[in-house]
């Protein structure tokens, strides 16, 4: 699977979807661009999101896109599961930002809006 598929997928996921689980494990051609393109989905009613990207090319930049351009728009989100296991482009620094600063900002943003 290539990154182009994620843009199409993000565009065609119906806004009525409340629970979404996508597994892109071992899709070695998927990276930050694909994650960004997937975030064009309409998150209006999304309550749970499970994204798996193990063994892909996603990096710290992809995590930032996910937090600041994707999750921040998901106002009804109650459940979140992310898996970026064995992504060579994600360092300890990237994970600490995702688990620390990024999720705190996301929580603050959701509490504010």
User: Is the model more confident about 72 or about 62?
Assistant: 62
Share of the chain above pLDDT 70, in %: 83
Q: pLDDT tens, 70-109? A: 777 788 888 888 888 888 888 777 677 666 655 665 555 4
Q: What distances in angstroms separate CA 35 from CA 16, 20, 40, 112, 113, one per listed residue?
A: 21, 15, 9, 26, 24
Give mean pLDDT, residues 50-60.
91
The pLDDT score that the predictor gives to residue 44 is 80
Report the relative pairing of strands 48-52 and 19-23 from DSSP bridges.
parallel
Reference 78, options 53, 43, 37, 40; nearest CA is 43
| pTM passes above 0.85 | no
Contacts of 95 (CB under 8 A, 6+ apart): 63, 84
Would the pLDDT of 110 be above 70? no
Output the furthest CA–CA distance in the chain (Å, rounded): 38
- 52: pLDDT confidence band, cut at 50, 70 and 90? very high
Reference 48, options 14, 26, 21, 86; nearest CA is 21
Separation between Cα atoms, residue 9 and residue 64, nearest integer Å: 20
The pLDDT score that the predictor gives to residue 74 is 81
């Amino acid at each position: 699977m290539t990154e182009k598929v994620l843009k199409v997928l993000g565009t065609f996921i119906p806004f009525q979807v409340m629970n979404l689980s996508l597994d892109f494990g071992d899709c070695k051609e998927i990276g930050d661009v694909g994650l960004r393109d997937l975030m064009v989905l309409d998150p209006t009613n999304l309550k749970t999101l499970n994204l798996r990207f193990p063994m892909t090319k996603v990096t710290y930049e992809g995590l930032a896109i996910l937090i600041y351009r994707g999750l921040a728009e998901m106002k009804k989100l109650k459940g979140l599961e992310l898996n970026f296991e064995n992504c060579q482009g994600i360092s300890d620094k990237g994970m600490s930002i995702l688990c620390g600063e990024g999720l705190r900002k996301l929580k603050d943003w959701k509490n504010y809006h």
